[in-house]
Structure 1
Amino acid sequence: MSDGLVASLSGAARTYGGVRVLDDVSLDVEPGVTAVVGPNGSGKSTLLRVLVGATEPTAGEVRYTGATGPKPIGYLPQRVPFRDGFTARETLAFYARLVGDDPDAALERVGLGDAGDRHVEALSGGMRRLLGIAQAVLGDPSLVVLDEPASGLDPGMRERAFRAAANRADGDTGVVVSSHALDLVDAHADRIVILRRGRVGAAGPLDPLLDEHGAADASELYRAVVGEPGASRGAADAGDATEGDGEREGSDGEGDEDAEPDVHVTGVSDR
């Protein structure tokens, strides 16, 4: 794994309506998988949007030291409104042409090789999330940021979606993923960032943090840092029940100005 940074936040803050949602957040994104966890309303989605440049920080800065290439950043928001009437292959083909990628190869990468001819409205929720991941990683970006890719899915599809995201991480690619599914964080994350009321409560490689806090797994680490029960380790995650329930329905002050646009081109309109 490379020692070089892919991206970094330095003293990042974001305020909405006088309420500070992010407060002096500094974060280095290295190659591998970085999981961002925290209670609903802790600022996870805002942090990810600041990281990809979709939301301007009120203070601080973002640097993309290792995010290079034709498409340096890939981003999957919590809601991706695919257009009905198009197949999965046609949907990816539109975006693939912009970055010189192969839509069939993109479908294979996330395990949707047999679903290319199915219309997007006929896909299950999990398959739509996988399609969103495929769309976000078109063009082989160096920085991949995925907001709740396993949200609202059954256990098998949660694992499949998270694994598809983690498979993108290598010696040059940093994957940042927010999630309430701490069992998947245990299984796939190299590093973890725990947010608490808009600030970083703990951050670093997962195993040393577990040792430091005397925790057996990510759920125990979460409880030690946040001071409340961790997210569910089963299928019916309370925090995963509905996509987008985290930041917008939390108490962090985010409002309409922080909502996703009605028409969103993943990895294109974000930049």
Structure 2
Amino acid sequence: MVVDALTRTYGGVPVLDSVSLVFGPGLTAVIGPNGSGKSTLLGALAGTVPPTTGQVQRPNAEDRGRKSIGYLPQRVPFREGFTARETLAFYARLVEGDPDAALASVGLSDAADKPIEDLSGGMQRLLGIAQAMLGDPPLVVLDEPASGLDPGMRERAFRTAATHATDDVTVVVSTHNLDLVDAHADRVVMLARGQVVAAGDLDALRDEYSVDTTAALYEAARRDATLSETADDGDPARSGAAAEDERSGSGDDSDRDVHVTGVSER
């Protein structure tokens, strides 16, 4: 998948500014501060956010009945009154997927017969991941899949994403959980103020910056790019960040269960 000179503006203010990237098979983690453009980028990859300029070239599913993109937005509006299995069965009829296998992949087999309204927020998040992966799409886009999950569920969510990311499947995940990036990601894209600060193979980037962890990579890349800790209230880039926060719901950090200095803070 190729992103070519992608710019997305809201009210004339750029949230993404001439972003060009290539996403190959495997798991790519998109990291950066709130308002850096992560959700806008993932929405553009999934096709829910049209570019203002530039383009996104996505993979096509060759098999009949196979969906080309699986997408987990930050908020998943599942309809109440149906069980977890019934919910996935509905989507499975559209893409020839196996709802029980999908539930098992995210550890929800025991909750299969629970109504949506009786599932915790974390369990609904896992159900959203299962829905995104139904039908084995060649591109899976997961926006903050670990948000609101306890440590065990976070690990399960990322392990499921990594397992799905085979030689012919591209999985793109946005996250603030840098320890899980270390454990599961093949590549990383770091955004700041709508621009790419660093991108590439995770091991190669850590070697390039002489660091051992993604958290240290983030700090080193930020220093090299001379990113300021604070920005002027009148800075257009900050206005663009606020625009994305308003649309993605990420402007309030109260739902972040893990705080990463320099990453979680705005």
TM interval, shorter chain, is 0.7 to 0.9
Residues 123 and 255 (structure 1), Cα distance of their counterparts in 2 relative to 1, 3 Å cut? closer
In the aligned structure 2, how far is the partner of 1:65 from the partner of 1:226? 32
Q: Is the 8 A contact 1:38 1:226 kept in 2?
A: no
- Root mean square deviation, CA, Å: 1.9
SS at 2:241 equivalent: coil
Q: CA deviation at 1:182?
A: 0.1
Of residues 105-114 and 54-63 in structure 1, the stretch that sits farther from structure 2 once superposed is 105-114
Give the deviation of 1:226 after TM superposition: 2.4
Does residue 9 of structure 1 match 2:3?
Answer: yes
CA contact (8 A) 2:59 2:139 kept: no
Higher helix share: 2
Three-state SS of the structure 1 residue aligned to 2:172 is strand
> 1:102-113 to 2 correspondence within 5 Å?
102-113=98-109
Instruction: Give unmatched runs, 5+ long, in structure 2.
Output: 225-238, 250-266
Which segments of 5 or more consecutive residues in structure 1 lack a partner in the other structure?
Answer: 1-6, 229-248, 261-271
2:244 matched residue in structure 1: 254
In the alignment, which of 164, 178, 182 is matched to residue 182 of structure 1? 178
Q: Please name the residue that 1:40 is paired with.
A: 34
**What amino acid maps onto 1:254 in structure 2?**
E
Which amino acid letter does the alignment assign opposite residue 19 of structure 2?
Answer: V
Task: Give distance in 1, aligned partners of 2:173 and 2:32.
Answer: 12
Counterpart contact for 1:16–1:255, Cα < 8 Å: no
Could you say which residue in structure 2 is the equivalent of 1:152?
148
Distance 1:255 1:176, change over 3 A: closer
C-alpha spacing 1:65/1:164, structure 2 compared with 1 (3 Å): closer
Q: Which residue of 15, 18, 25 maps to 2:12?
A: 18
Which residue among 85, 90, 94 is the counterpart of 1:94? Answer: 90
CA distance in 2, matches of 1:27, 1:41: 19
Which whole-Å CA distance do the structure 1 matches of 2:245 and 2:107 have between them? 36
Letter in 2 for 1:181: N
2:184 is the alignment partner of 1:194: no
Matches of 1:60 and 1:204, distance apart in 2 = 21
How far apart are the structure 1 equivalents of 2:55 and 2:205?
26
CA deviation profile, 1:225-270 (whole Å, cap 9, x unmatched): 1249xxxxxxxxxxxxxxxxxxxx98342376x459xxxxxxxxxx
Distance change (3 Å), C-alpha of 1:255 and 1:185: closer
Distance change (3 Å), C-alpha of 1:213 and 1:67:
farther
Residue pair 1:43, 1:252 contacting (<8 A) in 2 also: no
Residue 29, structure 1, aligned to residue 41, structure 2: no
CA separation in 2, counterparts of 1:71 and 1:114?
27
Q: Give CA deviations for 1:44-91 in whole Å, capped at 9, x if unaligned.
A: 000000111111101111112465442010000000011122110001
2:127 aligned to 105, 109, 131, which one? 131
Which residue number corresponds to residue 264 of structure 1? none
**Residues 19, 252 of structure 1: 8 Å contact kept:** no
Q: Give TM-score, length-normalised by structure 1.
A: 0.81
Cα pair distance change 1:111/1:196, threshold 3 Å: same
> Which residue of 2 is the match for residue 63 of structure 1?
57
Q: Is the 8 A contact 1:50 1:57 kept in 2?
A: yes
DSSP-derived class of the 2:212 partner:
coil
Task: Quote the offset at 1:152 in angstroms.
Answer: 2.0
Over the matched positions of the two proteins, sequence identity in percent amounts to: 64
- Deviation string, structure 1 residues 98-153 (Cα, Å, up to 9, x no partner): 11112112111222122111111111222111100010111110000000000122
SS in 2 for 1:251: helix
